[in-house]
Structure 1
Amino acid sequence: MTQLKHAGGRKMLRILSRVSASSLQTQRNLNAAAVRRSLCCAASRSAPLCSGLAVNIMEPKLYRPPPEVRGMTLLDKEAFTRTITVPALRVPAGVLNKVVKSLRKSSIQRPGVPRVVQDEEGSSDFRLVLLDPHKVTSPNSFSEAEAEALRAFGVAQELQHYNLQLTYHNLKSEEVLEAVLPQGQDVTSSFSRVGHIAHMNLREHQLPYKNLIGQVIMDKNPGITCVVNKTNVIHSTYRNFKMEVLAGEENMVAKVKENGVTYEFDFSRVYWNPRLSTEHQRVVQLIKRGDTVFDVFAGVGPFAIPAARLGANVLANDLNPESYRWLQHNCKLGKVEKKVRTFNLDGRAFVQGPVKQELPALLKEKAAVHVVMNLPALALEFLDAFRGLLHQEPSCEENLPTVHCYGFSKEGDPETDVVKRASRSLGFPLENRCSVHFVRNVAPNKDMMCVRFTLPKEVLFSGDHEQTEPSEEPAPKRQKCEEAKDSM
């Protein structure tokens, strides 16, 4: 009965909330109408100009470009020019700086539009401060603090009107694209920035406007000199994709700085994702001086090079010859080439080659060993390469590696999914023996996850090293731990 009362109470609160919100919105609409009427009376010098000011100021899309630009596929910047009327205050030149500072929240904020212009009456003793037409609609629109400042500086709260010419350069990229693309279609001005390159993923309906979109993105973002569009999915082997240049120079060699480290690479031939900088930093912070890092899918070095700069010994590998070349270049650029050994091998061959050779000695040391496997499309499937990797009998003091393995999941419970797949590949259950970190949402219903676990002895030293396909139902053999012998 108590639960029913609570439920009924919550329902009543929701109803009252909606009624209250509706009443509030109605009152706001009435207030807005009153403001429109008062502005005509307060800011007028002639009725026609006042009427035009009121219509322009209260128009929701005041800065909307002319309708003639709709459907444009080749950018014509002149076609975006139009004149609007905005409110202004006539301010004595002697107090101009103080007034501008006091009205910083109410003054106009548009790209390339000055907040202060010459007085239209030609007096050198006064200036006009342009105001935001969406915030200032009447002399009563100023806050109490602003009104008090204006009185203190002797500025009359009488609104002037100013005819402002807006051009293409005064519009934001999303405003330009919204005016050009068909109404009702998705408009995007988002992109990933890689050095001087803006990387976009255009949708089908945007392709007829692709060159215009590219030019707008380049115009509106200082430092961008090349805009590209991805034309296919990432290649699973080399993790790169074909790109089409939409605007600007065809220079694909980018220079970026991430977490204090500089990288150079050909963006069209290697994999780089600027959205992973936080994840790179998170993992590198787990590594200490003297540790050893095996980077199985190293790319151009975003894990390997920062780890080496912290004093770790790094073995970095990538199958893509271009990634391998730029990895070596970036090691020299970061002055860590003596701390990073580079390899150009398949991931499984790297594990069963260099990793296998180095591990026996590393397991007897105190410094930690990390294995980073950042190939989320396939890395979980590579875990079977660790089965029976070593043949010697383990001791209690073995310094077992920590694995950081990445994977994509489209399941409703991505944590359970990646752990299950990692367990199946290892042939050993990782439930309650690992941690899972959410990295990022890649696409709707597709998450990138990182599974972190200590490589089990039962996997590393198992006798079924010939097996390449993990069994459906792993039956691990738990070996008895004997007393460690002092090998020092």
Structure 2
Amino acid sequence: MQVKRWCLPVDKSVGEQTRKQLLEEGVLDRLCRIRSDGDNLLIPVTKYIEGAVCEEFSCIPSKTVLPRFEQVGGIAIMQEDDKIGAEAVLASKKTYHTVLFADSAVEGPFRTKKFRVLAGIDTTATEYTEYGRHFFIDLSLAYFSARLSGERQRILSMMNEGERVIDMFAGVGPFAIALAGKASVVYACDINPEAVILMVRNIAKNHLTNIVPILSDAMNLPVIITQPADRIIMNLPLHSIPFLEAAFSMTRPGGMIHLYALVSHEEEYVPVLRTFPLKKLEHRYVRSYSPDRFHVVYDIIRG
């Protein structure tokens, strides 16, 4: 949009110096773009000053402050039930097709949430890309968080070629698919049939042949998988502790277990972990979860 504004014509050689001076004096009009006029710059000002002339300028669109949300592919998940804000989020990026609000926390043995559509297409399904890997996601059928993408890359960087990996709570396969590039085999287990169906689609979508999807309670894995693993992923932050005995029984001495947990302080599970055979134990902050709880990962080398 073009608007008429007072401006100060100055030689280009002193343009930046003049701009800073006008800014310090509080008369620089920051809603309009500085423009060239031959050898001069026309610097817009908020009021008439000596030497000012009136010219047309392009307005700088004001930035809309969007509500907080998490992006998963073409879906934005709002942290608040705000339909007006949802419409603003939807309009902020062409690739967004749906804005959701979670009507429930993660619940039940299948770790699912209930969602309500605030704006856009009535769906909870989308496609998601992470470091060149492609996923079909349906947030109402299986739990998924894009916020652990950095963790998946961190663990991949720690791996040696040819490792045997067990992902005890694999969901739609983000850890399994990320680690498959270095692993000889990844056993990817989940108790949720819908998650396993999506995982199988994602394995095929990424053209992988070394992931074994398993539909089972993770407690049964020591019977199903008879050879010890080099690395185990335990991404069940609210309920992982009861599965530690199974995890240790499947890990070779010197192998590593990555246990994710929601805690009020980083050493909360250290006393429990020290009841198992440990060679080394480290913990690190992953992200904030709520005002009094946060996500940590315990990197455990089995003794």
- TM-score, normalising length from structure 1? 0.53
Question: Which residue identity is paired with 1:263?
Answer: F
State the partner residue of 1:45: none
Deviations 1:214-257 (A, max 9, x none): 11112233422211111111124223211111111123322222
**In the alignment, does 2:76 pair up with 1:198?**
yes
In 2 relative to 1, CA 381–311 (structure 1 residues): closer, same or farther, beyond 3 Å?
A: closer
1:436 aligned onto 2:283 = yes
Match of 1:70 in 2: none
Q: How does 1:370-385 map to 2 (within 5 A)?
A: 370-385=231-246
Tell whether 2:266 aligns with 1:414: yes
Greater strand percent: which structure?
Answer: 2
Matches within 5 A, 1:49-128: 87-90=6-9, 116=35
Aligned to 1:6: none
1:268-307 equivalences under 5 Å are 268-307=140-179
In structure 1, the partner of 2:128 is: 256
Shift of 1:158: 3.2
State whether residues 15 and 41 of structure 2, in contact with CA within 8 Å, keep that contact through their aligned partners in structure 1.
no
In the TM superposition, what is the alpha-carbon distance from 1:454 to its structure 2 partner? 2.7
Q: Please name the residue that 2:223 is paired with.
A: 353
**1:331 matched residue in structure 2:** 203
> 1:133-282 counterparts in 2 under 5 A?
158-160=51-53, 170-174=61-65, 189-202=67-80, 207=81, 210-282=82-154
Gapped runs of 5+ residues in structure 1?
1-82, 140-156, 175-187, 363-368, 391-397, 457-488
Partner of 1:150: none
* 2:180 is the alignment partner of 1:340: no
CA distance in 1, matches of 2:109, 2:55: 60
Q: Report the structure, 1 or 2, having the larger helix content.
A: 1
Letter in 1 for 2:291: P
1:175-233 CA deviation, whole Å, 9 max, x = no partner? xxxxxxxxxxxxx612111111111111xxxx4xx221111112233422211111111
Contact kept? 1:294, 1:315, Cα under 8 Å? yes
Contact 2:232/2:247 (8 A) holds in 1: no
1:341 match: secondary structure: strand
* Separation in structure 1 between the aligned mates of residue 238 and residue 232 of structure 2, nearest angstrom: 17
Residues 287 and 312 in structure 1, CA contact (< 8 A), matched pair in contact too: no
Answer yes or no: is the 8 Å Cα contact 2:238–2:262 preserved in 1. yes
Cα distance between partner residues in 2 of 1:128 and 1:251:
50
Distance 2:152 2:19 in 1: 40
CA distance in 1, matches of 2:136, 2:16: 43
- For the 8 Å contact 2:172–2:198, the answer to whether it is kept is yes
What do the CA deviations read for 1:283-321 (whole angstroms, capped 9, x no partner)? 121112111110001122221112112343111111222
* Alpha-carbon contact 2:283-2:299 (below 8 Å) kept: yes
Q: Deviations over 1:143-199 (max 9, x none)?
A: xxxxxxxxxxxxxx8344679898xx933332xxxxxxxxxxxxx612111111111
Letter matched to residue 454 of structure 1: I
Conserved 8 A contact 1:254-1:264: yes
Q: What does the per-residue CA deviation read over 1:371-399, in whole Å, with 9 as the maximum and x for residues that have no partner?
A: 11011111122113357679xxxxxxx65
Change (3 A) 1:454 1:227: same
Are the equivalent residues in 2 in contact too, given 1:288–1:312 (CA < 8 A)?
no
* Whole-angstrom distance in 2 between the partners of 1:221 and 1:170: 16
Unaligned runs of 5+ in 2: none
Identity of aligned residues (%): 24
**Per-residue displacement from partner, 1:330-388 (whole Å, max 9, x unpaired)?**
1111111x111101111212x32333x222xx6xxxxxx10110111111221133576
Q: Closer, same or farther in 2 for the Cα pair 1:102/1:308, shift >3 Å?
A: farther
Q: RMSD of aligned C-alpha atoms?
A: 3.8
Q: What TM-score, normalized by structure 2, do the two folds share?
A: 0.81
Query: Where does residue 185 of structure 1 map in the other structure?
Result: none
Q: Secondary structure at the match of 1:229?
A: strand
User: Comparing both chains, which one has the higher relative contact order based on Cα–Cα distances under 8 Å and sequence gaps of 6 or more?
Assistant: 2
Q: 1:421 to 1:158 in 2, by over 3 A?
A: farther
Contact preservation (8 Å) 2:222, 2:249: no
Q: 1:238 is aligned with what amino acid?
A: F
Are 1:230 and 1:242, in contact at CA under 8 Å, matched by a contact in 2? yes
SS in 2 for 1:292: strand
Q: Retained in 2: the 8 A contact 1:173–1:217? A: no
Aligned to 1:404: 258
Asked if the contact 2:152/2:179 (under 8 Å) is kept, the reply is no
- Between the aligned partners of 1:311 and 1:388, the Cα distance in structure 2 is 20
Q: Which residue of 2 aligns with 1:460?
A: none
Counterpart CA distance in 2 for 1:452 and 1:299 is 21
Q: Distance in 1 between matches of 2:218 and 2:167?
A: 9
Name the SS for the 1:281 alignment partner. helix
